Amino acid sequence: MDQQKKLVVGWFSFTCSEDSTILFTELLNDHLDEWKKVVEFRYLKALKSKNEIAGLDVAFIEGAVSSDTQAEEVKKIRGHAKYVVAVGACACTGMPSASRNEFVSDEVNQKIAYYLHHFDYSQKVKKLDEVIKVDDQVPGCPMTVSIFLEILTKYLKLFNISPDA
């Protein structure tokens, strides 16, 4: 019997509290057995060390983009994924991770200058669609579970993958 095709998924985290990743691990309490039949988690550093970025059907990306290095990484992910979904408030809106964009006080800016200059921070923190094309968004802080499940179901259907097959 042919093995059923699975939706090839990557899950990535950038600058954020990783609350949506934690919530995702909570969803596994109820969904892992079902998802293992229809989803291949090809890139999921929260749970595995052997990860690959090539050939992703959908990349779920959590977090804002704080540096040029991170920008290059998300562009690389975009290049390997047919679809990209921004997950959580930081990826969708930049906030609250982009709080430093709003700093106007010279005193505050001097205080954080050490980090900005010593490490490779970009001038501004960006939301995901300021860096790459985003196909869908799961808003919320952490992500709204019902929307995440709807979007996952949408892509399973789009790739003709049935949980009942």
Where do the H-state alpha helices sit in 4-143? Answer: 19-38, 68-80, 88-93, 106-118
Provide, rounded to whole angstroms, the least separation between the CB of residue 80 and other proteins: 18
CA dihedral 146, 150, 153, 159 (to 10 degrees): -150
The span from the CA of 44 to the CA of 51, in Å, is 7
- In the region spanning residues 52 to 111, those forming contacts with other proteins, defined by CB under 8 A, are 66-67, 70, 96-97, 99-100, 102-103, 105, 108, 111
Choose the binding region for other proteins from 8-16, 78-86, 128-136, 156-164 (rule: CB under 8 A): 8-16
Choose the binding region for other proteins from 77-85, 113-121, 129-137, 146-154 (rule: CB under 8 A): 113-121
Q: Using only C-alpha atoms, what is the Rg of the chain?
A: 17
Beta-sheet pairing, 121-126 with 65-67: antiparallel
Residue 51 contacts other proteins per CB under 8 A: yes
Would you tell me which residues interact with other proteins (CB under 8 A)?
Answer: 13, 15-23, 25-26, 28-30, 32-33, 36, 41, 44-51, 66-67, 70, 96-97, 99-100, 102-103, 105, 108, 111-112, 115, 118-119, 121, 141-142
